[in-house]
């Protein structure tokens, strides 16, 4: 009898012990939250290159956890769904409607019941749409004739979408270049029943400071899987006749693009040996130029494994390679003059090179630039282009007007400012796509067009300007209203007097309008309704305050619809630290108080529905010399947090004893540090963060020094190293399949155990099959329920 009692007691202890660590059923937040989260989202849209048509794509906002639990390969830095040989997809489009923007008529495309497809892509002439359709056994390619709305399948379910979307339009707008699964390729490799030996890596004399990438190759078996799923046959498909023509031989092609005249194909072809240290984008590969039949006419580059690229540097050799617009077949690229190392002192960092068909001559140098090449934008005028360079150390960006065909014309500086300066940002030049697929800047005589956010101390007011590239004169054509948020979307056809804008306000969701710039008349193009009308009454305002070192700060304050003046509410501060060199720029206001508020996914905005005040996007700038600013990281985020709380306390809106803090990724890192180094908060929520910086030894964010160069800093700002000081309750949430560099799931696990080891209060929630962000319906609802319960217990209802 005693033995039976003892065994029973031990079993109860055993059951109790494991029940503390067993999986729990998924939770649900309050029903009104479930209704909002699961409501159909507003369709996504895309306007045709001619500006005459718009496609509206309805979609499923969240997959099920059953879908997320399907077999998945995590190899070479990507995630492949083996059943259909594609990248893992978490958003599927279910219906397509084409709207004529001139007369307002619509055509709903007839698709098979239960269709799950990718977002459609316009042909360059706007006459066709192409998209992939995902099936249980593969991926099909479909097209829609825009005029009639009729859809048809072009291929069996054999599209290879492992490394790309699987297709792209050709310049003639009749053919598509498509990656297909190999015919009769057989079954996938089987894992070895018995290891043939250990997995070995060796290094000697190579300096390979790489980020902490995840989902990498780990074994010869992984290499075989990558070969099997990534190898494709390139084909050309006629969208009218459906004829399929093979081009070249099978290979692992990471990218393909046609010359504007359609006679050549630029191909990136991956080859062995592979690497267990970097993703496939850095594997050894060749850059080849083929004719339209797949015969190689020129080997442009044979690129080695890019595992020795300096931190925040670039690869040596050609990069990025692209076709020059308004030329039949001319390539342009940059090459580093500093061995790709941003720390080397050189007069010029990059040179810009070019090579034209028939690709028999040596490449020619166009120009040299002082800082790192950031891109080139071509104009319709022969040889004219904007070339942009960036100085990473200063966070500076400069754009020049150049004539690549006439070196005797000196480059003209057009834009020159901090890449972080929102107030003085002139906007981005408007471009268009020609019928051959060339992207060029919109140019009227000497006038270009600029679209910008229009940041100001009162918030963003987007604009459309035109600027004379000879005189630098500017004229404002459109400016968002003061109590709404209006953005330029596109011109209507070739006309510059009619534009399409998106208009939204605090109470109205974004909708599209046709605006006549001469008469200011506008016509509604869409009528999307508020997906959560029950939350329309939520109060929203821009809050400004100042840190004790004089840095100006701001954030958006949300209050419940039934808030009454004088009532002191519990507060949640949600933030993400950002780094700045200039304190004046750090304090610039970001965002607009007049934008419509969408309640989606695991958004912190849902706290407002539970009776909290929320300070969202609370600025947490880390200001200083880029090399040393993190020495004061903790002091600066604590000072910013205190300034926010003091400001809201002075208004009588919040109870300073009931304040919670939260953040995602680097915001989670901030949250844990705040709980460790100050007593301003009652509790915190940290999602998908990195808390031990020794696990990211070659830098993080903009930190240039390695762990071995600055060991004291890495220790100082790692919350894990100060877990004994985290004496406020912390909720840690992490996806078990997080693939973001640095935020390994073990980061949250180890912090939880460290906090637990010091007797503090913590809860660790590991979400099955979820990555850095959370996708599945069940996961999203569970995260909201966890956050509500945690802060209700330790903040709202704090004794």
Q: Supply the residues annotated as catalytic.
A: 665, 738, 772
The count of other CB atoms within 10 Å of the CB of residue 459 is 21
Query: What is the chain's alpha carbon radius of gyration, rounded to the nearest angstrom?
Result: 28
CA atoms of 91 and 89, how far apart (whole Å): 6
> Which tokens sit at 438?
């060339």
> Is the CB of residue 701 less than 8 Å from the CB of residue 606?
no
Long-range contacts (CB closer than 8 Å, 24 or more residues apart) made by 238-245: 238/174, 238/175, 239/128, 239/130, 239/143, 239/154, 239/174, 239/175, 239/176, 240/174, 242/154, 244/155
Helix or strand run (H / E) with residue 9:
helix 2-19
Calculate the CA 602 to chain-centre distance.
17
SS3 content of the chain, % helix, strand, coil (to 5): 20, 35, 50
CB atoms within 10 A of CB 183: 9
Please give the C-alpha separations between residue 288 and each of 41, 334, 501, in angstroms, as whole numbers: 43, 16, 41
Rounded distance, CA 291 to CA 372, Å?
32
Report the run of H or E that residue 132 belongs to, with start and end: strand 128-135
Are the CB atoms for 161 and 179 separated by under 8 Å?
yes
Long-range contacts of 789-793 (CB under 8 A, 24+ apart): 789/27, 790/683, 790/685, 790/729, 790/731, 790/763, 791/570, 791/572, 791/607, 791/612, 791/660, 791/683, 791/685, 792/610, 793/729
Helix ranges restricted to H, 581-654: 583-586, 633-650
């Amino acid at each position: 009898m005693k033995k039976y009692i003892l065994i029973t007691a031990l079993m109860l202890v055993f059951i109790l012990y494991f029940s503390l660590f067993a999986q729990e059923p998924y939770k649900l937040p309050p029903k009104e939250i479930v209704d909002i989260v699961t409501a159909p989202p507003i369709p996504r849209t895309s306007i045709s290159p001619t500006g005459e048509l718009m496609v509206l794509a309805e979609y499923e906002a969240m997959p099920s956890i059953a879908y997320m639990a399907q077999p998945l390969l995590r190899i070479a830095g990507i995630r492949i769904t083996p059943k259909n040989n594609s990248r893992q997809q978490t958003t599927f489009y279910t219906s397509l409607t084409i709207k004529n923007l001139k007369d307002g008529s619509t055509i709903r495309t007839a698709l098979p019941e239960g269709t799950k497809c990718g977002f459609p892509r316009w042909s360059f002439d706007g006459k066709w749409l192409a998209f992939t359709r995902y099936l249980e056994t593969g991926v099909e390619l479909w097209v829609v004739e825009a005029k009639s709305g009729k859809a048809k399948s072009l291929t069996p379910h054999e599209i290879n979408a492992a490394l790309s979307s699987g297709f792209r339009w050709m310049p003639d707008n009749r053919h598509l270049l498509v990656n297909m699964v190999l015919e009769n390729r057989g079954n996938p490799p089987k894992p070895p029943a018995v290891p043939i030996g250990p997995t070995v890596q060796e290094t000697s004399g190579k300096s390979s400071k790489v980020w902490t990438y995840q989902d990498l190759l780990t074994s010869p078996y992984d290499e075989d899987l990558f070969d099997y799923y990534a190898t494709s046959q390139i084909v050309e498909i006629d969208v009218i006749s459906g004829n399929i023509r093979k081009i070249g031989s099978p290979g692992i092609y990471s990218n393909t693009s046609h010359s504007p005249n359609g006679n050549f194909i630029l191909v990136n072809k991956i080859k062995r040996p592979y690497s267990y240290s970097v993703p496939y984008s850095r594997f050894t590969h060749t850059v080849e130029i083929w004719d339209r039949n797949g015969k190689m006419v020129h080997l442009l580059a044979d690129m080695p494994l890019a595992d020795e690229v300096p931190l925040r540097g670039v690869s040596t050799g050609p990069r990025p390679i692209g076709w020059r617009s308004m030329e039949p077949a001319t390539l342009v690229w940059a090459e580093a003059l500093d061995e790709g190392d941003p720390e080397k002192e050189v007069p010029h960092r990059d040179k810009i090179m070019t090579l034209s068909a028939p690709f028999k001559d040596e490449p020619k140098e166009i120009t040299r630039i002082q800082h790192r090449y950031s891109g080139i934008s071509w104009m319709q005028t022969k040889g004219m282009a904007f070339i942009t360079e960036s100085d990473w150390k200063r966070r500076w960006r400069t754009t020049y007007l150049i004539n690549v065909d006439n070196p005797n014309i000196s480059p003209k500086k057009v834009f020159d400012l901090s890449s972080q300066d929102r107030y003085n940002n002139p906007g981005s030049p408007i471009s268009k796509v020609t019928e051959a697929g060339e992207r060029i800047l919109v140019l009227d005589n000497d006038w270009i067009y600029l679209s910008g956010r229009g940041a100001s101390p009162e918030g963003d007011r987007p604009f459309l300007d035109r600027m004379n590239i000879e005189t630098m004169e500017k004229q404002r054509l459109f400016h968002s209203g003061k109590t709404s948020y209006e953005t330029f979307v596109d011109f209507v056809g070739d006309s510059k007097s009619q534009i399409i804008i998106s208009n939204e306000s605090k109470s109205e969701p974004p909708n599209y309008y046709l605006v006549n710039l001469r008469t200011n008349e506008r016509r509604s193009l869409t009528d999307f309704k508020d997906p959560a009308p029950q939350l329309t009454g939520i109060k929203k305002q821009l809050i400004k305050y100042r840190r004790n070192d004089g840095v100006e700060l701001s954030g958006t304050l949300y209050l419940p619809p039934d808030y009454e003046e004088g009532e002191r509410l519990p507060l949640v501060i949600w933030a993400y630290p950002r780094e700045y060199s200039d304190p004046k720029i750090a304090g610039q206001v970001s965002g607009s108080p007049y934008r419509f508020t969408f309640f989606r996914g695991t958004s912190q905005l849902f706290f407002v529905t539970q009776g909290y005040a929320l300070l969202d996007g609370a600025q947490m700038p880390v200001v200083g010399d880029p090399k040393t600013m993190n020495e004061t990281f903790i002091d600066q985020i604590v000072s910013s947090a205190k300034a926010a709380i003091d400001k809201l306390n002075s208004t009588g809106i919040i109870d300073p004893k009931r304040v919670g803090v939260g953040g995602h990724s680097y915001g989670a890192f901030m949250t844990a540090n705040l709980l460790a180094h100050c007593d301003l908060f009652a509790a915190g929520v940290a999602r998908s963060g990195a808390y031990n910086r020794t696990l990211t030894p070659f830098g993080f964010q903009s930190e240039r020094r390695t762990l071995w160069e600055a060991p004291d800093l890495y220790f100082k700002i790692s919350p894990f190293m100060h877990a004994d000081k985290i004496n406020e309750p912390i909720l840690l949430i992490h996806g078990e399949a997080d693939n973001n560099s640095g935020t390994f799931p073990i980061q949250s696990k180890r912090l939880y155990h460290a906090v637990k080891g010091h007797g503090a209060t913590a809860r660790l929630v590991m979400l099955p099959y979820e990555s850095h962000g959370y996708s599945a319906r069940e996961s999203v609802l569970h995260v909201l329920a966890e956050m509500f319960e945690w802060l209700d217990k330790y903040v709202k209802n704090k004794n």
